[in-house]
Amino acid sequence: MNNKLPGFIRVRPRFFTLLQLMLALLLVSGCTNQDSKADRTELIVSAAASLQDSLRELAAAYEQQHPGVSITLNLGSSGALAKQIAEGAPVDLFLSAGTAPMDKLSSTKTVAGRKQLLLNELVLITPDDKAVRPSKLEDLLNEEIRRIAVGEPDVVPAGEYTRETLEYAGLWAMLKPKLVMAKDVKQVLTYVNSGNADAGFVYSTDAASSSAASVVYRVPEQWHSPIIYEAAVVERSSNRKEAAALLNYMLNEESSDLFRDYGFRIPTEQKE
């Protein structure tokens, strides 16, 4: 006579005990991971797109040295990011590629502890496979140069520096029909790298990261406002202490060396 009941699986007591133990360990592990995440402070850093590569490396180094902190990067044009902060976006630390966006936030006391962080240089780039490559700004008037990528001047500091440069050279009005506006300096670089623009104005640090475009002209610094990157803690942040600690880390010699590796320069006042 068969005593086995159909539809039921006989489980050996020893195996059942082992299964219970494994489930219990998984449950404990899950709770531990959740507790670990809950104990970490998440810092949201809104930063100029031109800082993308250097900040990713810096954030990884900081998190390794500070296991209780995780860093989330929100990258874009400085003007757009400043507007987000002014409208209440949950940001702890703001890094701007120009002083104007920071001025607006400072005037309403939205940020505090403002510091000069880095310096950069404006350059003109063209695709490496471009047959006609300008060697001076006047060459941009040539018929072969049909599209010139620039950051939107009203929201992208690199675009504002470009407008100032072309106005200084007396070329802004004449070149305006050729200009292709980009949301940030990284998009300018993408347009040139892909050949969708015949030339573009970017920072020297962006040009250095490109394998498809090269610098054909370096803009004299006196032709535009100083390219100064500034950083400040957002006043309404619930993590002001941790954000200030991260800012101080960005100002130390280790971080300065990292930024130099990416082509940035360090302001004189920071060295003093």
CATH of the domain at 248: 3.40.190.10
In a domain, 148, yes or no: yes
Residue 88 pLDDT exceeds 90: yes
Residues 171 and 130 in one domain: yes
- Over range 16-38, report the average pLDDT: 50
Residues 126 and 89 in one domain: no
Q: How far apart are CA 64 and CA 60, in angstroms?
A: 6
Residues 115 and 231 in one domain: yes
Please name the residue that has the structure tokens 């050949």: 195
Residues 130 and 216 in one domain: yes
Higher pLDDT pick, 123 / 34: 123
In a domain, 9, yes or no: no
pLDDT band with cut points at 50, 70 and 90 for residue 40: confident
In a domain, 3, yes or no: no
In a domain, 35, yes or no: no
Residues 101 and 151 in one domain: no
Residue 178 pLDDT exceeds 80: yes
**Bridge partner residues of 231 (DSSP):** 95, 115
pTM attached to this predicted model: 0.82
In a domain, 101, yes or no: yes
- Taking all residues of the chain, what is their mean pLDDT, rounded to a whole number? 89
Domains held by the chain: number:
2
Q: How far apart are CA 91 and CA 72, in angstroms?
A: 10
Q: How far apart are CA 238 and CA 223, in angstroms?
A: 41
Q: Note down the domain range covering 110.
A: 40-119+227-271
Q: How far apart are CA 215 and CA 206, in angstroms?
A: 10
The per-residue pLDDT for 39 is 75
Residues 207 and 77 in one domain: no
Handedness of CA 143, 148, 153, 158 (dihedral sign): negative
pLDDT band with cut points at 50, 70 and 90 for residue 180: very high
Q: How far apart are CA 67 and CA 161, in angstroms?
A: 39
- Over range 182-208, report the average pLDDT: 96
